[in-house]
Amino acid sequence: MDDRPPLSEIELKTLCLYNIHQWKTAEKTYENYKKVCSCPSKIEKLSAANFKRLFNQYSKEYLFMSENGFHLPHYCSQICVHSDFVEGISQKRSYEKIREAFKEGAVGKETVEYFYDGFQSRAAAKHLQFSDLPFDTLRVVVKKLDLKSILNLRNVSRDLRMIVDEQKPSYKNIRIEYFTSSYIIVEFNEQYVLYTADVHLPRIPLTKKIVRSDFKNIAFKDLRFAFRNPEIRLDTLHIRYTALKFEYRLSRFLYSLKYQIHVKHCSIDFGNEKDVKTILQRMKPKVLNKLTLRRVSPDRSAEDNEIHYISFDYVSRMDQWKQVEHVEVEKAKVLSIEKFFHLKRFEIEVESIPMENLRRLINAASHSTNFESCRIYTDEYLDVGFIAAGLKLQPAPWNCDNSHFYEIPETKSVLNFYLSRNMIHIIKK
């Protein structure tokens, strides 16, 4: 219901007489009356029975005026214009009809035009869509929208998608995860979006859920929007590969970017070493500060207990690897620790570590101006005493169990060793 009041008695009487003059029945006049009460906004209307009673009363008055040569009284011309407007009658034709009905009592052409234009404007305002706003206004509005609204807006129309895509999205954190073939989760600046075709998939708290049969296409369209800004500056990018088909599609997507991504910390859940190479190629060298690698098993739903190894033969030749400062490797055994000697910090897993490799690590860390710390986890139990003796480590002066240090010759620096049955932690001081 609108704030517009119901038709007054004089408006109702004029409407009926105007329709009766056009030889309309009570039923057709009531239909016209209902349209008047609904456009441009809804107002309270009479029932069909009450309207017919008044119509019959006004019909008798019209008959009396006709028999005695009287013209229609000039009560309310605005309602007549309104009656013609809702029936789709043109402004020109409405003026002609009103002149014919009221004769010398008819209002002027300017008055009819004024009333008619007013109804047109109000009707247009009622049906005004968001996309009907001026482009400059839309651009201002889009800049204020949150992620959920922006993604929805891109799917409304081509024009709105064009306006949204004109913007340069500014994201700091993006996370992409594919879970079997059921759904994709993407995080944009701590705002999570779940893409799926499964309407029964339980809703995740604080997550926007998009249910579409083509959810993969929608997800990649939204990703393309997020990465369309070549000036994007990411703090973190987390990519989780868990299906071979997804790996291929995501790789193609990354290759389609015409720039290398500016990201400080890249985290990759990978299926094989080539996955790491594919993603790192799209990272901007010198900017990448930290790399986290975690081995997962593509296309497997069961727990994977197989031991996996990674050689870094592909990756170690890349500028991104040579210039990164901090590397973590989880759930994969490193075959050679020498490829980590240039790093400032690293955490890795190995099956075992020969004494000779530890000596080379001490030598590299001693001469490096970059090295700060490392953690090496082993499957094989470590003989702490044997390692301390073989590396000529000295017991820590604070008498902490399994704490030792190595004095770097011709310097005031030391390498502090914290040894346990399955871990070697080295900190350069």
As given in the structure block, the two tokens for residue 7 are: 């038709």
Question: What is this structure's pTM?
Answer: 0.64
128 pLDDT tier (thresholds 50, 70, 90): low
As given in the structure block, the two tokens for residue 74 are: 């000039």
Q: Is the pLDDT of residue 302 over 50?
A: no
Percent of the chain with pLDDT over 70: 88
pLDDT given for residue 31 in this prediction: 93
pLDDT given for residue 300 in this prediction: 45
Q: What is the mean pLDDT of residues 33-38?
A: 90
As given in the structure block, the two tokens for residue 362 are: 């001490």
Residue 234 half-sphere exposure toward CB, CA atoms < 13 A: 26
CA 114 from chain centre, in angstroms, equals 46
Count CB neighbours of 234 within 10 A. 20
pLDDT given for residue 148 in this prediction: 64
Percent of the chain with pLDDT over 90: 34
* pLDDT tens column, 320-377: 999 999 999 988 888 889 999 999 999 999 988 999 999 999 999 999 999 999 999 9
| Residues in a beta bridge with 194 | 185, 209
Compute the radius of gyration of the chain from its Cα atoms.
39
The beta strand positions in 274-402, using DSSP E, are 290-295, 309-310, 326-334, 345-350, 373-378, 394-395
Q: Which amino acid is at 62?
A: Y
Give the CA distances from residue 56 to residues 7, 67, 68, 97, in Å, rounded to whole numbers and listed in that order. Answer: 18, 17, 19, 23
As given in the structure block, the two tokens for residue 281 are: 């190629």
Mean pLDDT of the chain: 84
54 or 68, higher pLDDT: 54
pLDDT given for residue 177 in this prediction: 87
pLDDT given for residue 2 in this prediction: 45
